[in-house]
């Protein structure tokens, strides 16, 4: 076991309640000190709060896992979305730059318009369809401008065995209905929050050790690509051995299920660059889905 002097510095996680933030805060190693702060201890939208947290904990690396993620509500709560997704990351990036601390910042597939016929690459032009995507795109821009020592990690279709996500919604609806119509013309890569957290920590560790050739924007999402309909069917297939009846899942189109915010038709991300630079492979989301379903079902039975 390493001694105190051999342990890497503190990794400060901004955010405490979200899916990825909760995974980041799990104790996973005697050699890593992770501190997760949310409001009121660290309010991303208040510059003084950000500065105070960095001065108090003097982190080796900061991971920003805080975000406004209510995609549809963002259409009417634009100010809140931009405060947390754009202005907040800007304050954090400025503080990190002043403290000479690398920043890992999480972003989203929603910065793209979804019209590409191939997986999205990091250098593809961004053109968000809604307020949520625009707020996240502006957050990326502010991070790039203020903190040269940054890693922006775009991901997609996040799920976990806790929190609010598509898997939980499907399990609830499956109990209530014998038939579900699920969108089958939006494509993407489901990504487990635990996998995102593991990658963030792996990157943070290497940054803390002085690795300086991996700054920039990277894509990280699960494989194989599927649709929401395909993902739903996978959820119920995994849940069936737990005694959960499998409803009939029927494919529908986006037009059949209108929402306040438009969704990208193609959210599949090209993850080749992160493998080349960081030697991080694209994860298979199916093993993590089995664990997430088991955790959610255990939670509901408790």
Active-site positions? 132
With H, G, I as helix, E, B as strand and everything else as coil, classify residue 292.
helix
CA distance 230 to 187: 9
Return the residue matching tokens 């990794």: 11
Contact yes or no for 141/90 (Cβ under 8 A): no
* Tokens encoding 94: 């400025």
At residue 43, what are phi and psi to the nearest 5 degrees?
-105, 110
Count CB-CB contacts under 10 A for residue 125: 9
At residue 181, what are phi and psi to the nearest 5 degrees?
-100, 120
DSSP-assigned letter for residue 112 = S
* Tokens encoding 100: 């000479």
CA distance 302 to 297: 9
- Angle CA 287–290–293, to nearest 5: 150
CA distance 61 to 46: 20
CA distance 264 to 282: 21
Which residue, among 17, 22, 24, has the nearest Cα to 59 in the 3D structure? 24
Count CB-CB contacts under 10 A for residue 291: 14
């Amino acid at each position: 076991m390493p001694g105190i002097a051999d342990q890497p510095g503190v990794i400060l996680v901004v955010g405490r309640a979200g899916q990825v933030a909760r995974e980041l805060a799990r104790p996973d190693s005697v050699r890593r000190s992770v501190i997760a702060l949310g409001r009121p201890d660290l309010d991303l939208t208040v510059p003084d709060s950000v500065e105070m947290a960095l001065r108090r904990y003097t982190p080796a690396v900061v991971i920003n896992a805080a975000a406004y993620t209510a995609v549809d509500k963002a259409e009417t709560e634009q100010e809140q979305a931009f405060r947390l997704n754009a202005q907040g990351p800007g304050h954090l990036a400025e503080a990190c730059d002043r403290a000479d601390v690398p920043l890992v910042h999480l972003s989203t597939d929603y910065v793209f318009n979804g019209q590409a016929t191939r997986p999205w690459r990091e250098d593809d032009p961004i053109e968000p369809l809604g307020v949520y995507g625009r707020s996240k795109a502006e957050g990326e821009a502010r991070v790039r401008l203020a903190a040269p020592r940054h890693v922006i990690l775009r991901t997609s279709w996040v799920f976990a065995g806790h929190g609010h996500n598509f898997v939980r919604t499907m399990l609830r609806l499956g109990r209530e209905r014998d038939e579900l119509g699920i969108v089958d013309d939006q494509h993407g890569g489901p990504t487990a929050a635990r996998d995102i957290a593991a990658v963030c920590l792996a990157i943070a560790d290497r940054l803390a050790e002085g690795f300086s050739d991996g700054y920039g924007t990277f894509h990280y999402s699960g494989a194989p690509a599927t649709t929401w309909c395909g993902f739903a069917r996978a959820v119920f297939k995994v849940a069936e051995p737990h005694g959960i009846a499998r409803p009939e899942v029927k494919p529908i189109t986006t037009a059949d299920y209108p929402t306040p915010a438009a969704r990208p038709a193609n959210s599949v991300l090209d993850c080749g660059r992160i493998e080349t630079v960081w030697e991080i492979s694209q994860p298979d989301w199916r093993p993590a889905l089995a664990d997430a379903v088991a955790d959610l079902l255990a939670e509901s039975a408790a």
